[in-house]
Chains A and B, each alone.
Chain A
Amino acid sequence: NAGVMQNPRHLVRRRGQEARLRCSPMKGHSHVYWYRQLPEEGLKFMVYLQKENIIDESGMPKERFSAEFPKEGPSILRIQQVVRGDSAAYFCASSPTYTSYEQYFGPGTRLTVT
């Protein structure tokens, strides 16, 4: 059973460009979570999605950030008009059910904004 996959692993964008980060959850998992980790800090929750629904986006910045988890395909975290402060590692996690105790994390996407 393949683990959570994220791509790309490294992404470089110039200020003002768009960044698209993809997350494929583990097989059978319908719950996806996105976290951001700034250098030398802990992870910060961003958004929790189920298939086709955003359940909790309380950690998402109000502007430029959006997330989706379509019926088919991976979950996408989109950052429009990136700024240097968006440089961070973005981790996705998945779980099989709402009440699952364990979240399985992907290897992360390291975004660098130049």
Chain B
Amino acid sequence: DAKTTQPNSMESNEEEPVHLPCNHSTISGTDYIHWYRQLPSQGPEYVIHGLTSNVNNRMASLAIAEDRKSSTLILHRATLRDAAVYYCILRDISNNDMRFGAGTRLTVKP
């Protein structure tokens, strides 16, 4: 399985944008990039996914590098409720399981 590399932790101030990076240099052509987040004591929650083009939804934006070897999850205005562990996951469309790494623990300061 292709692996992802994320920083262990990041900090942000409330109401400021947050850019969460993810490296995936061994990504294959059929791997989708997924982001999930896990709030304390809860199950993971889907955030966004993409293949080649940048994606936007109500929660976040996903910026994918042209060579697809890295991506960035963008939270446009961090709130205290965005404090969570964010997981970047590569998922081949032919596999339905997801391989979670250690993720990035985001702390949001008021």
Residue positions of A touching B, CB distance < 8 A:
4, 31, 33, 35, 41-45, 48, 55-56, 58-59, 91, 93, 95, 98-99, 101-108
Contacts and interface: CB of A to CB of B under 8 A. Distances in A.
Given A59-B97, A108-B42, 9 more contacts: A42-B103, A44-B100, A45-B99, A48-B96, A56-B95, A101-B49, A105-B45, A106-B43, A107-B43
Tell me which of A4, A41, A43, A91 has the highest count of chain B C-beta atoms within 10 A of its own C-beta.
A43
A114 B27 CA distance: 42
Interface string B12-41: 000000000000000000001010000000
A55 B96 contact: yes
B101 A103 contact: no
A104 B36 CA distance: 10
Interface in B85-100: 85, 87, 93, 95-100
Contacts of A4: 43
B102 interface: yes
B49 A107 contact: no
Main secondary structure of the interface of B (DSSP, over half): loop
Tell me which of B42, B49, B96 has the highest count of chain A C-beta atoms within 10 A of its own C-beta.
B96
Contacts, number: 52
Given A101-B34, A107-B42, A42 B49 contact: no
A55 B97 CA distance: 10
Contacts of A101: 32, 34, 49
B96 A98 contact: yes
Contacts of B100: 35, 42-45
A90 to B, nearest CB: 10
Interface in B33-67: 34, 42-46, 49
A102 B102 CA distance: 20
B46 A56 contact: no
Contacts of A108: 42-43
Contact of B44 (A41, A56, A91): A91
